[in-house]
């Protein structure tokens, strides 16, 4: 099972279990509360009824005590009287009868009965069988409470019935609301789980589509790489022969040629070299985009790299009558780079600057440290410059900017700037281009602080000679 579907299932089970526990707990709580309230109401009835019953028994005992031939003794009457007393304190003090004391009439009646019994205690203690006057006083004091307690017992019973009915109705209403709430929660839970399942299935579908797309892209990339490798081999071999033979014809190695044929041979050589450059650039761009270029990094002197680059564009300088002015800062740190790739970048930028500069103009080539501890190589020309839109086109593979007829240049491959950008990315650096129409262009190669290498002289720990310590900052 898919891990996400498993988690969703576990979540759904946990959710439904929680809802079930909540529902059972809520119903149980309502039932328990209902039972408690009913028992409490019934307890109230029993307490008042017992008090009323004990009062009637006490009155009956007093009456029988005065009858001739009665077997009741004074001790029996006193015991019945004590039982009546025992019913009063729980009503006035116990927590279980707290609800009864909220009824003012009950509380007042029981309190008056207590006070009355307190006053009758001496009379009961000295009561004799033939003392009719004292018996009349006792009975006269207790008889009014008999009717009052009977009425209160009926009242509590009536209130209890009404309370039970009202409370049962309330419980039923709360139960219905609880059922609706549980139903809504269950519906929401089902919807949520359903949405999660749908989302999980959609994500799985998208992931499968992405994997298929990635696989197709890898297959296409492999096919492209294989095609380019085969094509480069198939094209480079005849191109080498074409360039070599056309060069021999142009130099008239095997004998003089008519001027027109000699010109044609020169055109063939130039076209062959252009095509070879195009093939090499396409291969380099393809490798760089696929991250298959491995840098052969080593420590090199910036001045040597610039000098080599100038030698490689010497022919262009003669063709376009452009002069390169070099300005290299003093005490410039060395750089840890792939020399061939950096020379390729500088030559590409120099070639563009020369080709797009007016005859007789200057191209300024500078190298200086950056404020962050890195190093930059700037190439500034006095050409037509580029707008933001032109620059965007120039940075795209095969993108070419067409200028007016006053600036003559050979058509390029349109891969120079994209290649330079990719090469600088591989070095952890950047390519910055600042250009303004009619004010020229500055192309800047920025190398990070990690590429800059400073050398510090040391006598050597073993005393054998001079050694160097390299740091990247």
Q: Average the pLDDT over each of 129-138, 225-234, 461-470 and give the range with the smallest value.
A: 461-470
Axis crossing angle, helix 339-355 with helix 302-312, rounded to the nearest 10:
50
Signed CA dihedral, 78, 83, 86, 87: sign only: negative
HSE-CB for 46 with a 13 A CA cutoff: 9
Task: Tell me the pLDDT band of 214, cut-offs 50, 70 and 90.
Answer: confident
Give the residue from 247, 243, 308 showing the smallest Cα distance to 280.
243
Task: Tell me the pLDDT band of 247, cut-offs 50, 70 and 90.
Answer: confident
- Of 3 and 256, the structure prediction assigns the larger pLDDT to 256
The DSSP result for 333-402, as a single string, is PEEEEEHHHHHHHHHHHHHHHHHTSPTT-EEEEEEEE-TTS-EEEEEEE-S----HHHHHHHTSTT----
- Of 310 and 254, the structure prediction assigns the larger pLDDT to 310
User: What pLDDT shows up at residue 32?
Assistant: 64
* 385 pLDDT more than 50: yes
Task: Tell me the pLDDT band of 472, cut-offs 50, 70 and 90.
Answer: low
Which SS3 state, helix, strand or coil, does residue 467 take? strand
Q: Which two three-digit tokens encode residue 466? A: 């001079």
Most confident listed range (19-33, 110-124, 239-253, 266-280): 110-124
User: What pLDDT shows up at residue 7?
Assistant: 67
**pLDDT mean across residues, the chain:** 78
* 447 pLDDT more than 90: yes
The DSSP result for 287-352, as a single string, is HHHTT-PPP-EEEE-HHHHHHHHHHHTHHHHHHHT-EEEEEE-TTPPEEEEEHHHHHHHHHHHHHH
In degrees to the nearest 10, what's the CA dihedral of 398, 399, 403, 409?
-30
Alpha carbons 56 and 83: distance in angstroms, whole number:
12
DSSP category for residue 449: G
Mean pLDDT for the stretch of residues 160-174: 64
Task: Tell me the pLDDT band of 473, cut-offs 50, 70 and 90.
Answer: very low
Mean pLDDT for the stretch of residues 208-229: 76
Task: Tell me the pLDDT band of 163, cut-offs 50, 70 and 90.
Answer: low
Alpha carbons 63 and 20: distance in angstroms, whole number:
64
Mean pLDDT for the stretch of residues 260-274: 78
CB neighbours of residue 125 within 10 Å: 10
Mean pLDDT for the stretch of residues 194-221: 79
379 contacts: CB under 8 Å, gap ≥ 6 = 346, 349, 350, 353, 363, 364, 365, 442, 443, 444
* 156 pLDDT more than 80: no
Alpha carbons 174 and 294: distance in angstroms, whole number:
76
User: What pLDDT shows up at residue 143?
Assistant: 86
* 462 pLDDT more than 80: no
Q: Average the pLDDT over each of 161-165, 212-216, 255-259 and give the range with the smallest value.
A: 161-165
Q: How far apart are the first and last CA of the chain?
A: 53
Task: Tell me the pLDDT band of 365, cut-offs 50, 70 and 90.
Answer: very high
User: What pLDDT shows up at residue 93?
Assistant: 82
* 103 pLDDT more than 80: no
């Amino acid at each position: 099972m898919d891990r996400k579907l498993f988690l969703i299932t576990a979540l759904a089970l946990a959710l439904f279990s929680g809802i079930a526990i909540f529902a059972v707990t809520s119903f149980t709580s309502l039932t328990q509360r209902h039972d408690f309230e009913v028992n409490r109401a019934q307890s109230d009835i029993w307490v008042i009824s017992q008090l009323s019953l004990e009062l009637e028994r006490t009155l009956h005992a007093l009456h029988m005590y005065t009858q001739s031939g009665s077997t009741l003794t004074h001790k029996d009457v006193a015991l019945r009287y004590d039982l009546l007393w025992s019913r009063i304190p729980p009503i006035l003090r116990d927590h279980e009868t707290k609800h009864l004391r909220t009824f003012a009439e009950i509380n007042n009646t029981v309190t008056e009965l207590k006070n009355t019994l307190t006053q009758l205690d001496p009379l009961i203690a000295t009561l004799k069988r033939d003392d009719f006057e004292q018996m009349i006083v006792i009975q006269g004091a207790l008889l009014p409470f008999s009717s009052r307690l009977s009425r209160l017992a009926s009242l509590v019973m009536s209130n209890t019935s009404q309370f039970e009915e009202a409370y049962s109705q309330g419980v039923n209403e709360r139960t219905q609301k609880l059922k609706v709430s549980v139903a809504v929660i269950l519906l929401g839970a089902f919807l949520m789980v359903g949405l999660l399942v749908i989302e999980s299935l959609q994500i799985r579908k998208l992931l499968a589509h992405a994997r298929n797309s990635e696989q197709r892209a890898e297959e296409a990339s492999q096919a492209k790489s294989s095609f380019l490798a085969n094509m480069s081999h198939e094209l480079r071999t005849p191109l080498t022969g074409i360039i070599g033979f056309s060069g021999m014809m142009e130099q008239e190695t095997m004998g003089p040629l008519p001027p027109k044929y000699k010109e044609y041979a020169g055109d063939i050589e130039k076209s062959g070299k252009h095509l070879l450059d195009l093939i090499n650039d396409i291969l380099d761009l393809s490798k760089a985009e696929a991250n298959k270029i491995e840098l052969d990094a080593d420590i090199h002197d910036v001045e040597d790299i610039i000098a080599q680059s100038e030698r490689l564009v010497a022919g262009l300088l003669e063709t376009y009558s452009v002069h390169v002015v070099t300005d290299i800062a003093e005490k410039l740190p060395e750089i840890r780079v792939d020399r061939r790739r950096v020379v390729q970048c500088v030559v590409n930028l120099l070639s563009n600057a020369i080709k797009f500069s007016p005859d007789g103009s200057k191209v300024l080539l500078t190298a200086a440290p950056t404020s962050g501890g890195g190093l930059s190589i700037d190439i500034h020309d006095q050409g037509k410059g580029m707008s933001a839109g032109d620059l965007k086109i120039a940075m795209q593979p095969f993108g070419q900017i067409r200028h007016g007829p006053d600036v003559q240049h050979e058509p390029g491959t349109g891969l120079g700037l994209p290649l330079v950008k990719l090469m600088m990315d591989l070095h952890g650096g950047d390519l910055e281009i600042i250009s303004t129409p009619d004010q020229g262009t500055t192309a800047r190669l920025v190398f990070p602080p990690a590429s800059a290498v400073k050398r510090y002289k040391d006598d050597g720990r073993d005393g054998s000679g001079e050694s160097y310590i390299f740091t990247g900052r």
